[in-house]
Amino acid sequence: MAQDFKKLARNVVAGVGGAENVTNLTHCMTRLRFILKDESKADDAKVKNIPGVMGLVK
């Protein structure tokens, strides 16, 4: 089954508190690295449970 990467991206951004909460985003081969304005707005459990997310590290 093909992965819907647009849906995955929307869900991840929503899980970290929305686009307005993202100060910076970079990536490497296996990770997205977010710098957030307010980490309390991120829902770690929600992000961890998004299909396609392999884990979350702070």
Q: What residues contact 35, with CB distance under 8 A and at least 6 apart? A: 22, 23, 24, 25
- Integer Cα distance of 46 and 19 in angstroms: 16
- SS3 state of residue 24: strand
Among 1, 2, 28, 54, which one carries the catalytic annotation?
28
Residue 56 a catalytic site member: no
**What positions carry a catalytic annotation?**
28
